[in-house]
Amino acid sequence: MHTTDRLSLNVNFIARFSAFLFFILIVGVSSLRAQEISEDAEVIAQGEQLFKANCTACHRINERLIGPALRDVHTRREIDWILNFVKNPQKMINSGDEIANALFEEYQVVMTAFPFSDDQILSVVSYIKAESDKPIEVAVATTTAGDGTVVEHGMPQTYINVIMVGLIVVLVILLIVLFLIINVLARFLKEKELDEDEREVVEQRLNLKALVRSNAFLGFAAFFFTAVVLKTVIDGLFTVGVQTGYAPTQPIAFSHQIHAGQYQIDCNYCHTGVRKSKSANIPSVNICMNCHSAIKNIPWTTNPSPEIAKIYQAVETNTPIEWVRVHNLPDLAYFNHSQHVEVGGIECQTCHGPVEEMDVISQYANLTMGWCINCHRETNLNTRGNAYYDKLVQLHSEVSKEPMKVEDNGGLECARCHY
């Protein structure tokens, strides 16, 4: 007991002492770089955004890709070195910087120069530091968890289901009770003396043939049949031109699963128009070449990929790649990506589905007008921090307690999409 106490005291002491040392170290390091690497959540968030939009094409925190894994890069390199290198890697190499040249030797690619401000680069480093401080397993776990965005809706639907089930149960009980009452009454009547007419009524048997032949039954059957046929036809007609699941063969077997899923390249990196234009834009070949000037192989092997070779062929022959359009809206409908993504804050997956899981891209939503309208009815307007909506939100809150929907801002009007 005594020894253990001592031991625990020792351990305690050691722990405290090392904590103290660690604190000194931290304070020392942070006093050195306090103005540079921030632990502010906002800065880290900004860094995360920048990192995901610009760096993930070549870098991972824990994994070597086109460029080195960036875990603990802030401890490996001087901050000034990072700043200079990000801004102009070629200049660093030319200046004869040892580390830069060693990296070039190792990776055989010069990193793209990013014209970021010091603050922006530091925010990225802050993000890397924050990520590095997390244990590796946890980091992986959070990413997978982060991907599975569950959209919760249909609460009224569950209510309706409960009510329906309840009603059916009540009806069944009612039927059983009625049947029992009839039986009891019939038995009671049988024991009585009855005249001919009354007996006929009491001993009435269900005549199936007569029932089937009865006008009422035929009429009902005919109505039911017509209704079902009509409903099927109308439903069928509504699917004309609806191309859900359309997954044509593309000229290059490009896999979103590998690029967006496995390598987690941000959608914006390739689809450059999505935040500023009506079209998200299919990436031009020069965007592919940003990475594929270095990546030539089938993943995890050393065999040159015939699919990647098609990109080189396009460059060499100066012919653009003719992709097959998957999402086709009719000419009479105007759709603007930037309105939905930049202003509305809608995730790409909301309309395009789990693209990061699609090996071959396919149409996810049915892209019918009903689908558009439905979403405009259900979706809350993304008004936060947007001065355009301030007065509207105020006016809306005066008349309604519900959050403002797209519909409430004229989102169902013809001339929003048809002109």
Partner 1 sequence: MEKGKKTYWKGLEQLTNDPAFVQIERNEFPEKLPLKDEEFGASRRDFLKMMGFSVAAASLAACETPIRKAIPYLNKPIEIDPGVPGYYASSYINGSDYCSIVVKTREGRPIKIEGNKLSAVSGGGTSAQVEASILSLYDKERLQNPTKNGSPITWNDLDKEVMALLSSISAAGGQIRIVSNSIYSPSTLAAIEAFKAKYPGTEVVTYDPVSNYGITKANETSFGVAVVPSYDFSKVKTVVSFDADFLGTWINPILFSKEFTKTRKLGSGKKDMSRLYSFESNMSLTGANADYRIAVKPSQQGALIVSLYNVIASKAVVPTIGGSSSTNDAISKAASDLWNSRGNSLVVSGSNDPGIQTIVNGINSLLANYGSTIDLGKSVNFRSGNDEQMEKFITDLSSGSIGAVIYYNCNPVYDYPKGTAIAANISKTSLSVSTSDRSDETTSVVAYQAPDSHFLESWNDAEPIAGQLSLSQPTISNLFNNRQAQESFLMWSGNEFTYYDFLKANWEATHFANQSVETELQTFWDKTLYDGVFVPAVSVEEKSYEFTADLNATAQNIKGSGSGLELVIYQSIAIGSGNQANNPWLQEMPDPVTKACWENYLTVSQAHAVELGIVMSEGNTQKVDLTINGTTISVPVVVQPGQAQGTIGLALGYGRKKAGVVADDLGLDANPFVEVKSGIRNYNITSGVSIAATGEPYRVAHTQTHHTHMDRHSVIQESTLAEYKENPAAGRHFPKISTSTGKKQPYEVSLWEGHTYTNHHWAMTIDMNSCTGCGTCTIACQAENNVPVVGKEEVLNRREMSWIRIDRYYSSDAEHGDLKALEKASENPEVTFQPMMCQHCNNAPCEAVCPVAATNHSTEGLNQMAYNRCIGTRYCANNCPYKVRRFNWFKYHDNRDFPENLSMNNDLGKMVLNPDVTVRARGVMEKCTMCVQRIQYGKLEAKKEKRRVKDGEVVTACAKACPTNAITFGDLLDSESKVSKSLRIEREDNHMRWKEERAYHVLEEIGVKPNVWYFTKIRNKEA
Interface contacts to partner 1, rule CB under 8 A: 241, 243, 246, 248, 272-273, 276-279, 281-287, 314-315, 318-325, 328, 330-332, 334, 336, 338-339, 342-343, 385-389, 391-392, 395, 409-410, 413-416, 418-419
Q: Which helix (H) or strand (E) holds 28?
A: helix 2-33
Q: Which residues contact 85 (CB under 8 A, 6 or more apart)?
A: 77, 92, 100, 111
**Nearer to partner 1 (CB atom), residue 262 or residue 319:** 319
CB of 37 to partner 1, least distance (A): 30
Q: For residue 328, give Cα distances in angstroms to 93, 244, 335, 415.
A: 47, 11, 11, 20
CB of 124 to partner 1, least distance (A): 23
CB of 18 to partner 1, least distance (A): 49
**Nearer to partner 1 (CB atom), residue 143 or residue 279:** 279
CB of 111 to partner 1, least distance (A): 19
**Nearer to partner 1 (CB atom), residue 227 or residue 233:** 233
Positive or negative torsion for Cα 265, 270, 274, 276: positive
CB of 209 to partner 1, least distance (A): 44
**Nearer to partner 1 (CB atom), residue 108 or residue 318:** 318
Q: What SS3 class is residue 304?
A: strand
CB of 417 to partner 1, least distance (A): 9
Positive or negative torsion for Cα 243, 246, 248, 254: positive
What the block records as the tokens of 70 is 């960036």
**Nearer to partner 1 (CB atom), residue 194 or residue 321:** 321
Rounded to whole angstroms, how far apart are CA atoms 39 and 127? Answer: 8
Rounded to whole angstroms, how far apart are CA atoms 239 and 270? Answer: 32
Q: Are 99 and 22 in contact (CB under 8 A)?
A: no
**Nearer to partner 1 (CB atom), residue 191 or residue 331:** 331
Rounded to whole angstroms, how far apart are CA atoms 355 and 80? Answer: 39
